Structure 1
Amino acid sequence: MKKIVVLGSLNMDMVLTTDRLPVIGETIHGEYIHYMMGGKGANQAVAASRLGISTSLIGCVGNDTFGEKILKHLSEEKLDVSSVRKEDNIFTGIATVFKTNRDNAIVVIPGANDCCDRRVVDENIDKIKQADVLLTQLEVPMETVKYALKKAKEFGVQTILNPAPYKDLPTELLEYVDFLTPNETEFESMVGSKFENSEELEKEMLQWSKRNQLNLIVTRGSRGSSYIEDGKVLTLPCIKVDVVDTTGAGDTFNGILAYAMAEKMELREAVTMAGIGASLSITALGAQTGMPSIQKLKQYL
């Protein structure tokens, strides 16, 4: 059986719906508040697990009510959460999502996610060793991410790093990455420049990928996803859907990409599947609510 291990964050998302964001010093009335399960690690693990592949999540929550609710919910998603540590004397991570009609803004307070250190990786090294793919992000400490990626490569495990939320990536960390999946804004931060058009983006993708010798996939929102094949940048458009909430689209993309890599799909097929899944995910409120099952994905494929 194919196996995916996700190393990453677990949060309780508080989604506040409002017409617009307040400016500094201003108080406005919101419309609704929803409490939803989130964190990039948990989201990506759910996206993969919904496709029916064996998925384990490594991370930390606080020994509190939010932590208990998150673990109960993830267990119902048929995820293996036996590697999620309960940490005393610290709260579960929290993300406050301000959702407007057009987009969202997010403030994350890491909490127990900052306790996800090398010992957590060492405690679960056998799971990483037996995995087909290790997927991770940057909502847990960078040193932990680097250590886990290095261990995975020692065992011959494929690795995917979603560099979000963006932080400067140490050069030595990239040595352990097979697939890097920034969105367009994160890629601009990586190269230190803003792209005025697609041509500039594609030129920089080719130069960066050649320089760093790894697979680069840039997600571009409504414009689809761009990747490199045979020395050329190809952009696969996304499907058109009615947008309800864009939270979790990138996490859906990465979880499905991990599934496709574990199943040894060709890169074009993998990016296509991940892009369709990301589009479907934004048709419902909440990061995980709209993540598709394998049956729904196959309807569009």
Structure 2
Amino acid sequence: MKKIVVLGSLNMDMVMTTERLPMIGETICSDQIHYMVGGKGSNQAVAVSRMGISTSLLGCVGNDAFGERIQKHLSRETLDISSLNIIEDTPTGIATVFKTKNNNAIVVNSGANDCCDRRIVEENIEIIKQADVLLAQLEIPIETVEYALQKAKEFGVTTILNPAPYKEIPIGLIEYVDYITPNDTEFESMMSGELGSSGDLETDMLEWSKQNSVKLIVTRSSQGSSYVENGQVTTIPCINVDVVDTTGAGDTFNGILAYAIAEKMELRDAVRIAGIGASLSIRALGAQSGMPSIKELKKYL
């Protein structure tokens, strides 16, 4: 059976719904508040596991009420969380999400996620070694991500880096990555740091890909997803759905993409199925609530 390892963050999301975002110095009232399990690592692991593929999550939570709540929630998924580290005297990561009708803004306090160091990788090296795909993001220390990607490549494991939230990527890290999946804003940051920007997304994607052997996939919100293959940019449009909450759409995309790559799908099919899954996920409130199961995804297809 195919196996995927997700290395990343776990947060408790406090989602406050508002008519609009506040101005600087302004206080406004929230209509509702919801407490939901999130964090890019947690979200992407749930998205993968709902595809019916063996999934392990590596990361850290605090020894507090939120940490216990996260573990209890994730234990209901078909997801291996036995390797999560419980960090004493450190709070679980928290994300405060301000949600309007069609958008959101997020403030994150890393908490225990900052304790996800090389030791976590070393303690779980056999799990990584046996994986088909390692999926990582940048909501934990980037040194840990680089080390995990390096070890995965040594073992012949396919690697995916979702460079979110964006941080400057060390020069050496990119050589351990097979697929990189920024959104359009993150890709702009990648370009300004390395090549400058032409102002045209497809031109920049081609230019970046000429300089790097990594397969580049850029998610573009309502415009779908674009990828480079054989010197060409192909865009797969997204499907139309009633939008409730866009939080977690990118994580759903990455999780399902990892599943598709583990299953050896052609890149076009992998991007297409990941994009459909991401669109289906935004029909419910919360990062994980709307993530489709493999049954739901196949029904749509």
TM-score over 0.5 for the alignment? yes
CA contact (8 A) 1:225 1:237 kept: yes
1:186 is aligned to 186
Partners of 2:148 and 2:84 in 1: how far apart? 15
Partners of 1:121 and 1:131 in 2: how far apart? 13
* 2:268 pairs with 1:268: yes
> 1:300: Cα distance to partner?
2.3
* 2:93 pairs with 1:90: no
1:236 is aligned to 236
1:254 is aligned to 254
Partners of 2:121 and 2:216 in 1: how far apart? 25
1:135 is aligned to 135
Partners of 2:298 and 2:271 in 1: how far apart? 14
1:108 counterpart letter in structure 2: V
User: What SS is found at the alignment partner of 2:233?
Assistant: strand
1:116 is aligned to 116
Q: Deviations over 1:192-245 (max 9, x none)?
A: 15675xxx1101101101101110000000000000122110000010000000
Q: Deviations over 1:33-72 (max 9, x none)?
A: 0000000000000000001100000000000110011011
The equivalences for 1:170-185 within 5 A come to: 170-185=170-185
The equivalences for 1:139-218 within 5 A come to: 139-192=139-192, 196=199, 200-218=200-218
Point out where structure 1 has 5 or more consecutive residues left out of the alignment.
none
1:101 is aligned to 101
Q: Deviations over 1:15-35 (max 9, x none)?
A: 000011111211111100000
Q: Deviations over 1:259-296 (max 9, x none)?
A: 00111111111000000000000000000000001111
1:43 is aligned to 43
* 2:40 pairs with 1:71: no
Partners of 2:114 and 2:170 in 1: how far apart? 19
Partners of 2:197 and 2:146 in 1: how far apart? 27
Identity, % of aligned positions: 73
Point out where structure 2 has 5 or more consecutive residues left out of the alignment.
none
Q: Deviations over 1:133-156 (max 9, x none)?
A: 000000000000000000000000
CA contact (8 A) 2:50 2:294 kept: yes
Partners of 2:50 and 2:246 in 1: how far apart? 19
Following superposition, which runs of at least 4 residues in structure 1 exceed 2 angstroms of deviation? 193-196
CA RMSD of aligned residues (A): 0.9
CA contact (8 A) 1:188 1:195 kept: no
CA contact (8 A) 2:137 2:145 kept: yes
TM-score scaled by structure 2?
0.98
Q: Which moved more, 1:64-73 or 1:152-161?
A: 64-73
Partners of 2:198 and 2:16 in 1: how far apart? 31
User: What SS is found at the alignment partner of 2:149?
Assistant: helix
CA contact (8 A) 2:281 2:291 kept: yes
Partners of 1:188 and 1:230 in 2: how far apart? 22
2:56 counterpart letter in structure 1: S
How many aligned residue pairs are there? 298
Partners of 1:73 and 1:29 in 2: how far apart? 29
